[in-house]
Every structure is written in structure tokens, then in C-alpha cells.
Amino acid sequence: MARKVLVLGEVRDGQLRNVSYEAVGAAKTIAEGGEVVGVLLGASVSSLAVELIQNGADRVVVVENDKLAQYTSDGYAQGVLAVIESEQPEGLVIGHTSLGKDLSPRIAGKLSSGLISDVTSIEVEGGNIVFTRPIYSGKAFEKKIVTDGLIFATVRPNNIAPLEKDESRTGDVSTLSVDIKDLRTIIKEVVRKATEGVDLSEAKVVVAGGRGVKSEDGFEPLKELAQVLGGAVGASRGACDAEYCDYSLQIGQTGKVVTPDLYIACGISGAIQHLAGMSNSKVIVAINKDPEANIFNVADYGIVGDLFEVVPMLTEEFKKLKVNA
């Protein structure tokens, strides 16, 4: 059954986020040969439409309004609902990011529709679109289908393959004028914190530190390694509780759940609480002084040793690799 599926393109710092291209890939599966329509909201975003099309959208609807310059759930909900009203789609896909998590339940609430959150894979099985998502923080998985109304899902970054970019692809870009009113929440200030550069939830490489890092300064070698690998720094709850780093870096059952290609755990014992946040990473490396540490049970590769010796050596080796590549 061919469907029309909308995809919200999420813009951050003037660029589309990777998860939006992954959402296009998800929409393509749900569309089953139908149409994938990109949706862009913002003050000035129409120039990004071509990116969505080159990455697989058939066409794009742009809603430009100064009141959409910053994300608010009220403003964005009005924008997306107006596009839904005009397009009458059978499906909708949004990234499971801070924005997607905040916005999607409002749209689902308004439409009285289902919503399958935090999806990690999508398949067509026996006429159904089957969504797989982690539950119990990745300790188990469930497969879900939509039984009534809009097929609406948010997709977890780093899990669904984007389509191949084709710079020769073209498609229609149209604008929809929407009167945005009654914003009941006003953003007064945005404070950018430690997470400069690569976003933890979207990073392909995560270098994480635990109690073994011993101090705030102890994170420095981890930051250098992450930088060389183009990755992000994370932490265990123990490191956050000990005030070695900000809670925004915490990975675990409480905290962020990450699924990078490479997860390097440094001085992390591997409590079940922490494993829940990272055990679905594709490749896990453990560096720990204690050969009995639980982290070695989930690691693909392990080095028993002092992280303050091992991590700088690793950084140097990766630098050499990059130079030779």
C-alpha cells in the first residue's frame, strides 16, 4: 500500500541534523512506494530543502515564520499540524531528539493518534509496518504496529540507514503560509554548556569516563581522544555523582542512551545501570585496571591497564592512523 509520509527536517545551527536524513530513510520504508514529503519549519530554512530532496525526499513543504526561529512546542505544533491538514498524510516521522521528544506527543495528542517513540528499526512484514524499539533501557526490545490512524514514529539517531545522497535529484519545493499565534512558552535565553562540537546522542564515537577518571581534570585525556576520533565525551553516573563532570554527559538508565559505532569505556566498572545506556553500541572497548570489572563482559575488546597510560597512547596511535589514511 503506497502511502504519503511526512518527515520533519530538524535544523540545528543552520544545518539539517543527520537524524533527519535517517528519518527520510524510515519514511521511505513506511511509504512503500508512495511519496516522502519533507517539512521544514523556521525563520529562514528554504535553502535546506534541496538537501532533503538530494537525500531522498520527493518534495518539500516549507513553513517560514519569524515565530519559528526558535523551537517552541506551541509554534512547531501549529506548523506541523497545518502541513498535516493540507497534505493529509498517512505517515509522519520525526527524529527522537530533544525536539522530537517534546513535539511529537503534542501532535499525537492533538490528532488522537498513536505514536511509536524511539524506533531503532522498521520493516514491512505481512502487510504491516513493524517498528522495533528498545524497552527497559535496551534490556529488551518490542515490536509494535499502529492499529488505528496515522502511522507516526520518532526514530533514534544512529540506527536507521539514510538513503544514498544523489545530487542530481530534483523535487518540488512549495511554501505554506501559517499564522503562528499564542506561544505560551517563551525562550528567554539559551545557555550552551560543555557539549561543544559533537552531540552525544548522535555521535559515531563516544569516549566515556567513570569513577576511574578520578577528577575533573582526569577527563582531559578522554576529551583529546574524542576529538581525534570526531566523537563526544560521556560519563557514568559515578563520575557525575562525584562531580567530575556535568550530568548532561551521563549515560545510563537515568541519563542518555547512546548507540554509537564505537564506545570506549575508560575506568567504568560496568554497573547494570550504565550498561542499560550503552550496551547496544556496535563495538565496545573497555579500558580498566580491574580485570574482574563487569564492563569486560560486554566489551568486544578490552585492555587491562591504567586509563591515564592507555588513553594518551591510543590518542597517539589514532593520530598516526589518520595521518596515514
Partner 1 sequence: MNIFVLMKRTFDTEEKISISGGKINEDGAEFIINPYDEYAIEEAIQVRDAQGGEVTVITVGSEEAEKQLRTALAMGADKAVLINTEDDLEYSDQFTTAKILAEYLKDKDADLIIGGNVAIDGGSGQVGPRVAELLNIPYVTTITNLEINGSTVTVVRDVEGDSEVIETSLPLLVTAQQGLNEPRYPSLPGIMKAKKKPLDELELDDLDLEEDDVEAKTKTIEIYLPAQKQAGKVLEGELADQVKELVSLLHNEAKVV
* Binding residue numbers for FAD: 211, 236-237, 250-254, 267-274, 288
Is 166 or 309 the residue whose CB approaches partner 1 more closely?
Answer: 309
The least distance separating partner 1 from the CB of residue 251, rounded to whole angstroms, comes to 12
Is 87 or 199 the residue whose CB approaches partner 1 more closely?
Answer: 199
The least distance separating partner 1 from the CB of residue 16, rounded to whole angstroms, comes to 16
What SS3 class is residue 32? coil
The least distance separating partner 1 from the CB of residue 50, rounded to whole angstroms, comes to 26
Q: What's the burial of 14, exposed, middle or buried (CB within 10 Å: 0-12/13-18/19+)? A: exposed
Is 59 or 101 the residue whose CB approaches partner 1 more closely?
Answer: 101
The least distance separating partner 1 from the CB of residue 9, rounded to whole angstroms, comes to 17
The least distance separating partner 1 from the CB of residue 140, rounded to whole angstroms, comes to 5
Nearest-CA neighbor of 265 among 315, 214, 307? 307
Q: What's the burial of 2, exposed, middle or buried (CB within 10 Å: 0-12/13-18/19+)? A: exposed
Is 134 or 171 the residue whose CB approaches partner 1 more closely?
Answer: 134
Is 84 or 310 the residue whose CB approaches partner 1 more closely?
Answer: 310
Cell of 16: 539539517
Nearest-CA neighbor of 11 among 2, 3, 23, 1? 23
Q: How far apart are the first and last CA of the chain?
A: 46
CB under 8 Å, gap of 24 or more: what pairs does 17-20 form? 17/95, 17/97, 17/157, 17/202, 18/157, 18/158, 18/162, 18/202, 19/95, 19/96, 19/97, 19/100, 19/155, 19/157, 19/158, 19/202, 20/52, 20/95
Cell of 33: 512506494
